[in-house]
């Protein structure tokens, strides 16, 4: 029902005059709009935005909207202010847009009631598209600003969480401070922890898409940040039995090289775990996708930890072989032979050739390197050198890594 009491006004009053008249009733109209917003939205009762602040937002927007209807220059400053404040106070986007619908309907109903009393309903209908167009412009501007503010809040929150996580991973925080950081990051104080390092490729792509929600669905809380070119995560597994579950989820999500530390019980040792996760990541061949857990391949870990020595070993042991014309089939044969546990027949099946061919190539390897795979000490050196080649960029394009 309209609050307007019709009098003996001239029936020729047009929309502009009507809009001007409504400007004098902004306070009363805004109060009605606020009452309806509050009656249907529990979020306002739970938020720190007061009814007085909401009334100011509504009245400012209603006044600006009516002023534009009577010819004032277009301005969405009031709408942007509404979007910013509601985002900062945590009012949902849906509630923001609903408020504009309520305001638009309340004003339109009031206009219809007043124009009917004055006999100018037809002229009001002719400007209906203009009216609802302004309402739509206001709500769109408010929504755009809302998204901008929420994105900025998320970025600030992410930066803050990143700083807290790095403080934990340094392992230098006193026990009470570490416990407070864990609480603020949503991680349990008593848990089996795991550090994960994922390689960033420079494109900005997430190396572990949606990993936090995937882990959360399995009951495993985690927090993540970017540091020194890597995506680092700290997982708080409720029990040791959750470690293989977490590893499976991470391996399935990986889009780059990913490594995980050994499980640990105290965040005071997190710094060591970070190094373990980084070394584990280096145990995955370059430019490939894969997941590696610390301790699952000690030789690879040793080579990753000593890259200069690994390079020296590779050159000294496999250099003569790599320089040969038939280097690629020889390297493939050596790798297949190790993968087949020293069986020439099985290696031949892997390489689609006769076992005699395998024997010939192994003899050629012995001739070039001075090391015979039939001697355990020589075989060990060849194996370590081959692993070193697999874990370095120089191995790319040689077909290595297909069997081991």
pLDDT exceeds cutoff 50 at 8: no
Q: Return the higher-pLDDT residue of 200 and 119.
A: 200
Residue (of 248, 236, 382) closest to 318 by Cα position: 382
Cβ-based neighbour number of residue 291 at 10 Å: 25
Summarised one tens digit per residue, pLDDT across range 159-208 is 888 889 998 898 877 888 999 999 999 999 999 999 999 999 877 789 99
Cβ-based neighbour number of residue 365 at 10 Å: 24
pLDDT exceeds cutoff 50 at 316: yes
Residue (of 219, 232, 387) closest to 314 by Cα position: 387
Mean pLDDT of 2-21: 58
Please tell me the distance from the alpha carbon of residue 287 to that of residue 349, in angstroms, as a whole number.
Answer: 28
- Residues forming beta bridges with residue 222, ordered by sequence position: 235
Residue 404 pLDDT grade (very low, low, confident, very high; cuts 50, 70, 90) = very low
Residue 382 pLDDT grade (very low, low, confident, very high; cuts 50, 70, 90) = very high
Q: What is the pLDDT of residue 402?
A: 42
User: How does strand 192-199 pair with strand 222-227?
Assistant: unpaired
| Number of helices followed by number of strands (H, E) in the chain | 18, 5
The pLDDT mean for the chain works out to 88
Instruction: Say if pTM beats, i.e. exceeds, 0.95.
Output: no
Q: What is the pLDDT of residue 393?
A: 56
Exposure string for 278-290, b = 16+ CB within 10 A, e = fewer? bbbbbbbbeeeee
**Helices 270-282 & 298-305 angle (0-180, nearest 10):** 100
């Amino acid at each position: 029902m309209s609050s307007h009491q019709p009098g003996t006004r001239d029936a020729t009053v047009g929309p502009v005059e009507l809009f001007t008249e409504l400007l004098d009733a902004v306070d009363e109209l805004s109060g009605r709009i606020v009452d309806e917003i509050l009656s249907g939205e529990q979020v306002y009762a739970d938020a720190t935005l007061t009814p007085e602040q909401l009334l100011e937002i509504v009245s400012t927007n209603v006044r600006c909207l009516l002023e534009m209807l009577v010819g004032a220059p277009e301005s969405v400053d009031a709408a942007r202010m509404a979007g910013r404040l509601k985002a900062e106070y945590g009012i949902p986007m849906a509630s923001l847009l609903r408020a504009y619908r309520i305001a638009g309907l309340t004003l339109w109903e009031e206009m219809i009631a007043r124009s009917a009393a004055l006999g100018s309903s037809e002229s009001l209908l002719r400007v209906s598209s203009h009216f609802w167009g302004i309402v739509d412009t206001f709500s769109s501007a408010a929504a755009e600003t809302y998204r901008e503010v929420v994105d900025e809040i998320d970025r600030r929150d992410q930066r803050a969480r990143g700083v807290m996580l790095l403080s934990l991973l340094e392992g230098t925080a006193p026990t009470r401070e570490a416990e407070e950081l864990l609480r603020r990051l949503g991680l349990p104080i008593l848990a089996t922890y795991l550090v994960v390092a994922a390689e960033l490729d420079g494109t900005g792509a997430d190396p572990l898409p949606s990993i936090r929600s995937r882990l959360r669905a399995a009951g495993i809380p985690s927090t993540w940040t970017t540091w020194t070119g890597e995506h680092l995560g700290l997982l708080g597994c409720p029990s040791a039995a959750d470690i293989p579950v977490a590893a499976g989820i991470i391996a399935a999500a990986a889009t780059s090289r990913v490594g995980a530390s050994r499980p640990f019980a105290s965040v005071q040792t997190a710094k060591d775990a970070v190094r373990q996760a980084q070394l584990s990541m280096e145990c995955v061949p370059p430019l490939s996708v894969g997941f590696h857990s610390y301790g699952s391949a000690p030789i690879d870990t040793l080579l990753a930890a000593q890259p200069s020595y690994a390079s020296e070993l590779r050159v000294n042991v496999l250099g003569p072989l790599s320089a040969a014309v038939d280097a690629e089939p020889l390297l493939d044969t050596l790798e297949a032979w190790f993968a087949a546990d020293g069986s020439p027949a099985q290696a031949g099946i892997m390489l689609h050739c006769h076992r005699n061919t395998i024997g010939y190539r192994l003899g050629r390897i012995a001739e070039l390197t001075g090391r015979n795979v039939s001697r355990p000490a020589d075989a060990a050196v060849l194996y370590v050198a081959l692993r070193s080649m697999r874990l370095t960029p120089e191995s790319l394009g040689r077909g290595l890594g297909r069997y081991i």
